[in-house]
Amino acid sequence: MPGFELWGAEERKEVNDVLETGILMRYGFDGPRKGIWKAKELEEAITQTFGCKYAQLTSSGTAALTTAMAALNIGAGDEVIMPSFTFVASFEAVLSVGAVPVLVDVDDSLTLDPEAVRKAITPKTKCIMPVHMCGSMADLDALASICKEHNLILLEDACQSIGGSYKGKSLGTIGHAGTFSFDFVKTITCGEGGVVMTNNEEVLIKSDGYTDHGHDHKGVDRGADLHPFIGYNFRISELHAAVGLAQIKKLDRILAIQRANNKLLRSYLEQIPEISFRTIPDPAGDNASFLSWFLPTEELTRAAVAEMKAQGILPGNFYWYDNNWHYIRKWDHLKQATSLYNLNDAQKTALLKLQTQDFSASDAIMGRCISTAISLSWTEEQIREKGEKMAAAIRKVLQEQTSNA
């Protein structure tokens, strides 16, 4: 799944280019850097690889989301509709700009349910933010139609779906803006990093300034730049960009391995009639970093998790329903509005309301879901062994249920 599995001489070469100059910052020091501009190179590679006009690198995927919202003028009092199944960074970014996260149910695509989105729209809604979880995409046609109907912003959190696509367009390039995370466990990694992608030049200009203290970057002397607006330090370093530059050249290889390994492992689970698989709006666009599957009931799913754990085959199989990072059920700090600084009143009210909000539709899906991470380092023999062991453990659980019925 993560690009770090293919770490090698290519990454070392790009990093050494930077180390030889000693210029680790992406801006300035034009002479000493001797023409080495890794961040600029990576931004250009991103536009060419994913088919967007503009790319602005950031220090993390969270910083990318925060930057994109600021550049899209999403702020205090604005409501951002997002899924109940995501990574905590998604709502952290919303809160960081003063906006209000409005969480709604997911469907069996494990992404935003368009009908739940429609029901959540209020006069304060500013943005719909699908999160393309576990390598696959939301129903972007439906969500784009809703945005157009209500004049809303479509911001793609594509941090977990690098290399995925929807009807021929790269995920993260379809909305008004989109973001990737390049942290250590993403499809391609910088170690730490992220990017805002957009086809809107104004969004790019604002993102460029926002990530560097508001600098307009119009002169040759960064110290003499004007500051048209307030910004923050969300810069990526040249070292991190150098790693990403090597990694992006491996993306096609990574995707090919993931898709082949995913298909082979799936062939073992497909032999069990009780197992179903997540809905993928465009199967050809799945980046295949996870194989997500369902058992008929939560009870059976928990039993399968326990059995795989007992047999030592649980690592890499994620039961998100009990996960502290990815599903609202365990986000007590969010539901209790526990913050080190004062949240605004609209945020506090919305977060406390989550304690009593009905997420039973999401529970019915997530309680039955297991996602298996697809490793790039597996051999065919290892995949077949894993598939056989997983299938045997699941059949054992199903047989026990039948015997106890």
Give the model's pLDDT for residue 241.
Answer: 98
Pick the CATH number of 3-251 from 3.40.50.300, 3.20.20.190, 3.40.640.10, 3.40.30.10: 3.40.640.10
Instruction: Please state, in angstroms and as integers, the Cα–Cα distance from residue 217 to each residue in 13, 30, 53, 101, 234, following that order.
Output: 29, 14, 19, 32, 15
Of 75-84, 87-96, 288-297, 307-316, least confident by mean pLDDT is 307-316
Q: Which position among 13, 124, 169, 186 bears the catalytic label?
A: 186
Q: Are 197 and 177 in contact (CB under 8 A)?
A: yes
- pLDDT tens, position by position, 347-376: 999 999 999 999 999 999 999 999 999 999
> What does pLDDT average to over the chain?
97
With bands split at pLDDT 50, 70 and 90, how would you rate the model's confidence at 223? confident
- pLDDT tens, position by position, 95-124: 999 999 999 999 999 999 999 999 999 999
d(CA 42, CA 50): 12
d(CA 188, CA 14): 15
Q: Are 388 and 264 in contact (CB under 8 A)?
A: no
The residue written with tokens 């993260």 in the block is 172
Question: In the chain, where are the structural domains located?
Answer: 3-251, 253-404
d(CA 103, CA 168): 29
Give the model's pLDDT for residue 221.
Answer: 84
Give the model's pLDDT for residue 402.
Answer: 85
Give the model's pLDDT for residue 259.
Answer: 98
Residue 401, exposed/middle/buried by CB under 10 A (0-12, 13-18, 19+)?
middle
Q: Are 180 and 172 in contact (CB under 8 A)?
A: yes
Give the model's pLDDT for residue 310.
Answer: 95
d(CA 207, CA 222): 16
Structure tokens at 284: 């050809």
Residue 396: active-site member = no
Mean pLDDT (whole number) for 92-96: 98
- pLDDT tens, position by position, 124-151: 999 999 999 999 999 999 999 999 999 9
Answer positive or negative: Cα dihedral of 63, 68, 71, 72.
negative
% of the chain beyond a pLDDT of 90: 96
DSSP secondary structure letters along 246-306: HHHTTHHHHHHHHHHHHHHHHHHHTT-TT-EE---SSGGG---SEEEEE-SSHHHHHHHHH
**Pick from 191, 186, 237, 234: nearest CA to 209:** 234
Give the model's pLDDT for residue 2.
Answer: 87
User: Model-level pTM?
Assistant: 0.96
CATH number of this structure's domain 253-404: 3.90.1150.10
Residue 306, pLDDT above cutoff 90: yes
Mean pLDDT (whole number) for 174-184: 98
Phi-psi region of 252 (alpha: psi -120 to 50; beta: other; left: phi over 0): alpha
d(CA 21, CA 35): 10
DSSP secondary structure letters along 319-363: -GGG-TTTBGGG-HHHHTT--SSPPPHHHHHHHHHTTT---HHHH
With bands split at pLDDT 50, 70 and 90, how would you rate the model's confidence at 220? confident
- pLDDT tens, position by position, 274-285: 999 999 999 999
Residue predicted with more confidence, 237 or 315: 237
Q: Are 31 and 230 in contact (CB under 8 A)?
A: no
